[in-house]
Amino acid sequence: MKRVLAHVGWAAVALMAAACLAGIALNRGEPINGIWLLLAASCMYVLGFRFYGKFIAARVMALNDQRATPAERLRDGIDFEPTNKWILLGHHFAAIAGPGPLVGPVLAAQFGYLPGTLWIILGAVLGGAVQDFVILFASMRRDGKSLGQMAREEIGRVGGFTALLTVLLIMIILLAVVALVVVNALKGSPWGTFTIVATMPIAVFMGLYLRYWRPGKVRECSVIGFVLVMASIFVGQAVSQSAALAPWFTLSGMALAIAIIVYGFLASALPVWLLLAPRGYLSTFVKLGVLLLLAAGILIVRPQLQLPAFTRFVDGSGPIFAGKIFPFCFITIACGAISGFHSLISSGTTPKMIAKEWHAWPVGYGSMLLESFVAVMAMIAASVMQPGVFFAVNSPAGIVGTTPAAASATITAWGFPVTPAEMQTLARSVGEQSLFYRTGGAPSLALGMAHIFARGGGQALVGFWYHFAIMFEALFILTILDAGTRVGRFMLQDLLGHVWPPLGRTSWMPGVIGFSAAIVAAWGYFLCQGVRDPLGGINSLWPLFGIANQLLAAIALCVATTILIKMHNARYLWITSIPLAWLLLVTFTAAWQKIFSPIPAIGFLAQADKLESALRSGAIAASKAVETRALIFNARLDAALCGVFLVLVATILIDSVRVWAGILRGRRESAVCEAPFVLSQLRAEEL
Amino acid sequence: MTRLREIARLLAGILRELSDESAYQRHLERHGRPHSAGEWRRFSEARLREKYSRPKCC
């Protein structure tokens, strides 16, 4: 009887998923409620987790709770420690949740809410969660080895070295693009800038508090930090209204970029306890709190989606970034569907903390579904705005026109009515001077979140909620920036340490300063390029980041496929090779188009050629010649970088295919490099 | 009520883990030392060195 009821229950969930998906996919012309997206996503996640995830866990991985995990065998109380599965799930989710699942869906909303939502849900269930789960499993069975180490052992030395180099290049682009999102959110905004500047002395205060006044009281210190940050939002409002103080915090894009570059360098070179660590703790708690708040807000307010299911920009003429729905929707949304960066986390701390093998199922597969849920919430937040307002905020001046009147006319002509007066009223309501040309996704996400929060908690607070959302986004983007710069320095030292060993010493002061400067200079260059770009920078940098991140996922899936072939020959090859084939198709197409498309808005080389012709024919004023030459150089540099990514991934792919063919033809040894079986002595009640 | 208490305990556990307070507790137990400012600094420096040498997710 129980079994029958379970079958009926799962059939009901499947029917509900089908009905919700059909509802959002077939609805045209009328606004639909955001709850339908949440319901469709939730039902699909539950089904994917219960059936697909469990199938992989039981049949493919043959997880066995009798087998001792590295956390039990190598227990040292530091890295290796058996941890309760739900606590570990929270820990792993906090580690994988970054700005990507929030910003990507907002940018992809230019195609309408439907394509992005479907990709987020299906991509996560069939690709992202599978990648995270298989890599976590592989690392857990190999004493917590990293992706690079596994690539070296399972594929070969070329694969291992290429993976390290790819990660370093991706880090540089990632840091530039997230910094650009912050710059675009804060330029000309004294309220936002003051709030973010205030988080720095607050973090230093927290660092001193933790080290000297109340050592070890991290949660207590974070509560104090949170109260101070909230107070700084209120003070920021007063600063923005002060004739004397506002000009100090009203900065141009370039001034903000320089400030962020200096901050990145200092944060990388200063002791970790002083700035990075307290900021990291605060950012983690704020991030989890805001995501819970957003979920509650959407459930309480049940907002209507104002964006259509599809917009006219599916043809590739979008103002936020150029390119057709295929392949660009699938690289714009990376982290909410499948993200290569997750494979670094899944082969980092988490495999060393898993107490029982079956815990890898909720931690690896389940955490990615939660991350995907965050991306669906971001899509809802972006879609609750009037389309005209959405495009006015997200379109660069180079596309829609350099005055509010021109921009409004262009956007209205696209079929999305908006007026300068409407935008002015909206800007005033959130305490900003203007909301035009705020590319990067963060301001429109903040507007959407403020809209949802304010409907639940009073319209008078809409300005506060907007700046609260901006503070939340900037806080954890800057945390990634400072920690990323530091990690980039370590990676560069690791690479160059092979050339001359002293260069690899991470505590050698000239090395600390020199390598920090090198990493900051690398991402700072791309940041300045984005700030100067008349098309807003996001148009060129976000696709580069998306391509790079998805290529890293392709590397992880190559490693995962190699392991599955070694375990089962070709039997379960499809589980990782189908998402791998899709990612290769998407990323290689996107990269090819970004390099060679004859349309200047898409192809870097065509863009450089167009500018060069204009320069030669005298169509560009002499005063703009130096700037134009820089734009030409940057377009060619971006094309070259895109090409390097392709070559690196093609190298790993060819190397992997060579290994796969050898194993499948029986010419190569197929022994898996797992740690030997040891019987587990750990009891569930110990956790 | 028991369920609610379990959820609260779980949330507190996640917060303790994220704030490294659980790891510090384990460190004290493992070395058999009492909490002190110096001990926290020793633990924290090693912990943070390890934590900030790994990439953060996007």
Of A216, A348, A483, the CB nearest to B52: A483
CB pairs under 8 A between A and B: 126
Beta carbons of B10 and A86 less than 8 Å apart: yes
Q: What is the pLDDT of residue A338?
A: 96
DSSP for residue B58: -
Q: Is B48 on the interface with A (CB under 8 A)?
A: yes
Q: Which residue of B has its CA nearest to A549?
A: B58
> What is the rounded CA–CA span in Å between residue A512 and residue A505?
9
State which residue of chain B sits closest to A167, comparing Cα positions: B55
Give the pair of three-digit tokens for residue A387: 């389309």
Cβ neighbours of A100 in B, within 8 Å: 57-58
A-chain residues within 8 Å CB-CB of B15?
219, 285
Query: Chain A: nearest CA to B8, how far in angstroms?
Result: 12
Dist CA B56 CA A94 (whole Å): 10
**Mutation test of the interface with chain B: which of A93, A136, A219, choosing the one with the most B Cβ atoms within 10 A?**
A219
Helix or strand holding residue A394 (H, E): helix A387-394
> What does the alpha-carbon distance between residue A218 and residue A48 come to, in Å, rounded to a whole number?
37
Averaged pLDDT for residues A599-611? 95
User: Of the candidates B11, B28, B55, which has an alpha carbon nearest to the alpha carbon of residue A340?
Assistant: B55
Q: What are the two backbone dihedrals, phi and then psi, of residue A28, each rounded to the nearest 5 degrees? A: -135, 145
Asked whether A576 and A557 are in contact (CB, 8 A), the reply is yes
Task: Tell me the C-alpha distance between A175 and A257, whole Å.
Answer: 12
Band of residue A457 on the pLDDT scale cut at 50, 70, 90: low
Angle at A276 between CA A274 and CA A280, to 5 degrees: 125
Q: Is the pLDDT of residue B50 over 90?
A: no
Q: How distant is the Cα of B26 from the closest Cα of chain A, in angstroms?
A: 6
Q: Is A277 helix (H, G, I), strand (E, B) or coil?
A: helix
Select from A87, A99, A334 the Cβ nearest to the Cβ of B14. Answer: A87
Closest partner residue to B55 among A285, A335, A344, by Cβ?
A344
Question: B35 to chain A: which residues are within 8 Å by CB?
Answer: 215-216
CA distance B35 to chain A (A): 9
Instruction: Give the residue-averaged pLDDT of A544-553.
Output: 90
Residue B36 one-letter amino acid: S
Q: Which residue in A has a C-alpha nearest to residue B30's C-alpha?
A: A77
B34 touches chain A (CB under 8 A): no
All residues of chain B having their beta carbon less than 8 Å from the beta carbon of residue A334 are 58
CA A596 – CA B39 distance, rounded (Å): 58
**How far apart are the CA of B2 and the nearest CA of chain A, in angstroms?**
17
The residue that leads in pLDDT, A25 or A346, is A346
pLDDT at A458: 65
* Mean pLDDT, range A587-599, rounded to an integer: 96
Residue numbers in A near B48 (CB within 8 A): 272-273, 276-277
| Interface contact B45, partner A, CB < 8 A | yes
Q: Read off the tokens for A627.
A: 């700037």
Q: What would the pLDDT profile of B6-25 be if each residue is shown by its tens digit?
A: 889 999 999 999 999 999 99
- Chain B neighbors of A172, CB-CB under 8 A: none
Least confident of A384-398, A411-425, A455-469: A455-469
Answer whether B50 sits within 8 Å of A79, measured CB to CB. yes
User: Chain A contact for B6, CB < 8 A?
Assistant: no
C-alpha A297/C-alpha A457 separation (Å) is 9
Provide the residue count of chain A.
Answer: 687
Contact state of B58 with A272 under an 8 Å Cβ cutoff: no
**C-beta of residue A440 within 8 angstroms of C-beta of residue A184:** yes
Confidence band of A500 (pLDDT split at 50, 70, 90) = confident
In the prediction, which pLDDT does A127 show? 97
- A341 min Cα distance to partner chain B (Å): 6
Cβ of B57 within 8 Å of Cβ of A339? The answer is yes
CB < 8 Å to A506, chain B: 53
A164, burial (CB in 10 Å: exposed 0-12, middle 13-18, buried 19+): middle
pLDDT in tens, A217-265: 999 999 999 999 999 999 999 999 999 999 999 999 999 999 999 999 9
Contacts of A216 in chain B (CB under 8 A): 21, 24, 35, 40, 44
Q: Determine the Cα–Cα distance for residues A375 and A105; give it in Å rounded to an integer.
A: 6
Residue A210 CA to residue B44 CA, distance in Å, equals 10
Q: Which tokens belong to A475? A: 């806080």
Say whether pLDDT at A683 is over 90: no
Q: Is B19–A218 a contact, with Cβ atoms under 8 angstroms apart?
A: yes
Report how far residue A35's alpha carbon sits from residue A305's, in angstroms, rounded to the nearest whole number: 10
Q: How far apart are the first and last CA of chain A?
A: 33
C-beta atoms of B48 and A272 within 8 A: yes
Rounded Cα distance between A443 and A430, Å, is 11
CB < 8 Å to B58, chain A: 98-100, 174, 178, 334-335, 339, 341, 480, 545, 549
Phi, psi of A679 (to 5 degrees): -70, 130
Nearest CA in chain B to A280: B19
CA distance B37 to chain A (A): 5
A509 Cβ contact partners less than 8 Å away, ≥ 6 residues apart: none
Cis before A327? omega within 30: yes
- What chain B residue is nearest to A92 in terms of C-alpha separation? B18
Q: Of A299, A307, A442, which is closest to residue A384 (Cα–Cα)?
A: A307
CB-based contacts of A506, cutoff 8 Å, min separation 6: A489, A490, A493, A512, B53
Nearest to A219 among B15, B40, B57 (CB): B15
CB A51 within 8 A of CB A17: no
Q: By C-alpha distance, which of A14, A309, A184, A169 is closest to A644?
A: A169
Residue found under tokens 């639909």: A32
- Of A205-209, A618-622, B22-26, the range with the lowest mean pLDDT is A618-622
Please report how the helices A325-332 and A538-568 are oriented relative to each other, as an axis angle in degrees rounded to 10: 80
What pLDDT is stored for residue A396 in this prediction? 93
Question: Which residue blocks in A442-572 are alpha helix, DSSP H?
Answer: 442-457, 462-497, 509-532, 538-568
Residue labelled with tokens 């290529």: A551
Write down the pLDDT at residue A685.
66
Window from A242-251, A325-334, A572-581, A617-626 with minimum mean pLDDT: A617-626
How far is Cα A620 from Cα A180, in angstroms, rounded to an integer?
Answer: 27
Length of chain B: 58
> Does the CB of B53 have a partner CB in chain A at under 8 Å?
yes
Q: How far apart are the first and last CA of chain B?
A: 38
- Say yes or no to pLDDT of A382 above 90: yes
Q: Where are the domains of chain B?
A: 2-51
CA-CA distance, A102 to A113, in Å (whole number)?
14
- Contact residues for A536 (Cβ-Cβ < 8 A; gap 6+): A184, A395, A396, A397, A398, A399, A437, A439, A440, A530
Structure tokens at A301: 């307010």
Write out the DSSP string of A23-72.
HHHH--SS--BHHHHHHHHHHHHHHIIIIIIHHIIIIIS---TTBPPHHH
Report whether pLDDT(A673) > 90: no
Q: Check CB contact of B24 with chain A, cutoff 8 Å.
A: yes
The overall average pLDDT reported for chain A is: 92
* Model confidence pLDDT, tens digit, residues A258-274: 999 999 998 888 888 99
- Tens of pLDDT along A116-125? 999 999 999 9
Q: Which of A122, A637, A25, A687 is nearest to A356 (CA)?
A: A687
Nearest CA in chain A to B54: A487
B9 contact A CB<8A = no
From the list B41, B54, B57, the residue facing A98 with the nearest CB is B57
Instruction: Examine the pLDDT at A541 and tell me if it is beyond 80.
Output: yes
Phi and psi at A304, nearest 5°, equal -80, 140
Residue from the list B27, B45, B58 with its beta carbon closest to the beta carbon of A174: B58
The answer to whether the peptide bond before residue A105 is cis (omega within 30 degrees of 0) is no
The domain A2-187+251-300+328-396+437-664 is classified under which CATH number: 1.10.260.40, 3.40.190.290, 1.10.1200.10, 1.20.1740.10?
Answer: 1.20.1740.10
Share of chain A above pLDDT 70, in %: 99
Question: Is residue A90 packed enough to be buried (19+ CB in 10 Å), middle (13-18) or exposed (0-12)?
Answer: buried
Phi, psi of A29 (to 5 degrees): 90, -35
Interface contact flag, B57 A506, Cβ < 8 Å:
no
Minimum Cα–Cα distance from A89: chain B residue: B14
- Around Cβ A316, how many Cβ atoms within 10 Å? 18
Residue A180, both tokens: 């650009």
A134-166 pLDDT, tens digit per residue, is 999 999 999 999 888 898 888 888 777 777 788
pLDDT in tens, A307-346: 999 999 999 999 999 999 999 999 999 989 999 989 989 9
Taking only Cα atoms into account, the Rg of chain B, rounded to an integer number of angstroms, comes to 15
How far is the C-alpha of A98 from the C-alpha of A175, rounded, in Å?
12
User: Distances in Å between the alpha carbon of B17 and those of A207, A248, A279, A519, B53?
Assistant: 19, 40, 16, 31, 19
Query: Which residue intervals of A218-332 are DSSP H helices?
Result: 218-241, 253-269, 276-301, 325-332
* A679: β partners: A67
DSSP labels, A104-152: HHHHHGGG-HHHHHHHHHHHIIIIIHHHHHHHHHHHHTTTT--HHHHHH
Question: Count of CB atoms within 10 A of residue A232's CB?
Answer: 20
Please report, for residues A46, A89, A165, A450, the alpha-carbon distance to residue A371 in angstroms, rounded to integers and kept in the order given.
14, 12, 27, 21
Residue B35 has its nearest CB partner, among A100, A174, A216, at: A216
Mutate to test the interface with B, among A74, A76, A78 (most CBs of B within 10 A): A78
Residues 6+ apart with CB under 8 A from A30: none
CA gap B21, A670 in Å, rounded: 43
